[in-house]
Structure 1
């Protein structure tokens, strides 16, 4: 495994675009902390976002994993461009000539996906922990380390999303077209969801949960209506925002199943192609 990872990181080290995207991604992840500095006064009204409780444990695990997942496209671009460069720079053929099997080649990419997802997850965990320890009203260990399933769900979500990008990169060979295909697939899922609401409203959630992007989205649902201040305002105007925000094991299994499909599909594509 380490030999295969070393090959991939050697390629990344010499890719300027990849380094820029990776740095940008982690800078944006860190910028979550800047939310805490939002503070302004309007007359007697004093507004400090951190004092509203958005960084309270355990809510912060849900909020930060959801927000961090919105910028995962930057690492996806790295993974897709990795595959594009393999074809354009002929390094794929050279690796195979040098004795790397096609199975090992796919494994090297998958191990890279795992490392990207793991490092990103650890980074989000540490940033959230630090922000929580500074601003949370609740610092009891039992509260701090509750709801950590969102961290695990975030990791699974990244692995599934990056595996899908890897598959599209191998299928299409050009990074711009691969990203375009992902956007088209998102539009297809959105159109399908709209049609189901029109024709089979009662079966929408059951059917949509098996589609890849929707399954990944279901892992970490939006956290804003869970926030106590939002609930309080909703109750005052007679709106019921109660919903199930928990991470479901069935959603994890569906995303893992898609991950296996994407990785195996990548291997089958590579195996059948005459390089």
Structure 2
């Protein structure tokens, strides 16, 4: 495993575009802290995000993993370009000539998926912990380390998303077309879900069906956190609107995404094994 990871990190070290994308991703994660200083003072209306409790423990684990999950597209570009560069630069063929098996090649890419996901999760943990201790009104140990399952959900979400990108990269061979295909598939799933929802308004039929689809299952791992804020809940109560949801991380949602991840890696290997290089 370490040998395969070293090979991949050596390739990244000499890829300037990938280094820039990775740096941009982690800088954006740090910039989550900017939410703390956003203030709006318009006459009598004063709006300060940090004072709304977005960095309170344990809510911060939910909020930060949700926001960080929206930024995963940057690392997706790195994963896809890693695969496409293997074809365009002929390094895949050279690796196989040098003794690397096709199984090891796919494993090396999957190990990078795991590494990116693990490093991102650890980074979000550290940033959230620091912001929480600075701004949170509650710093008791039992409260600070409540709801850490959102970090697990974030890790699984990244693994599933990057595995999907890896599969498309192997399938299509060109990073731009692979990313465009993912966007098209996302739109197709979203539009079809919207149609089913519209025709079955007032029921959970659409969600019951689409919870097993790739993008919907990824989204379900971490529900939007904004409606969970006490200020939003108070406003909803004043206008008699029910916005209560189940924000928990469920084991079956994690299982679905892990199932897709395993399928994408398996299909990537099968494609590469049957392909004449």
TM-score, normalized by the shorter chain, greater than 0.5: yes
Task: Please say which of residues 103-112 and 36-45 is displaced more in the overlay.
Answer: 36-45
Task: Please say which of residues 189-198 and 159-168 is displaced more in the overlay.
Answer: 189-198
- Partner of residue 137, structure 2: 137
Q: CA deviation at 1:51?
A: 1.6
Question: Which of 241, 244, 248 does residue 243 from structure 2 map onto?
Answer: 241
Deviations 1:87-106 (A, max 9, x none): 00000000000000000000
- Partner of residue 13, structure 1: 13
- Partner of residue 264, structure 1: 266
- Partner of residue 97, structure 2: 97
Q: CA deviation at 1:35?
A: 1.3
Distance in 2 (alpha carbons) for counterparts of 1:25 and 1:18 = 11
Deviations 1:17-40 (A, max 9, x none): 000000000000000011112235
Question: Which of 199, 202, 212 does residue 210 from structure 1 map onto?
Answer: 212
- In the alignment, structure 1 segments of 5+ residues that lack a partner are none
Distance in 1 (alpha carbons) for counterparts of 2:198 and 2:123 = 41
User: How many corresponding residue pairs?
Assistant: 275
- In the alignment, structure 2 segments of 5+ residues that lack a partner are none
- Partner of residue 61, structure 2: 61
Q: Does the 8 Å CA contact 2:52/2:229 hold for their aligned counterparts?
A: no
- Partner of residue 227, structure 1: 229
Root-mean-square deviation (Å): 1.1
Distance in 2 (alpha carbons) for counterparts of 1:169 and 1:43 = 52
Secondary structure, counterpart of 1:168 in structure 2: helix
Q: CA deviation at 1:200?
A: 4.2
User: Structure 1 residues 39 and 191 mapped into 2: Cα distance closer, same or farther (>3 Å)?
Assistant: closer
Task: Please say which of residues 120-129 and 194-203 is displaced more in the overlay.
Answer: 194-203
Deviations 1:151-174 (A, max 9, x none): 000000000000000000000000
User: Structure 1 residues 40 and 210 mapped into 2: Cα distance closer, same or farther (>3 Å)?
Assistant: closer
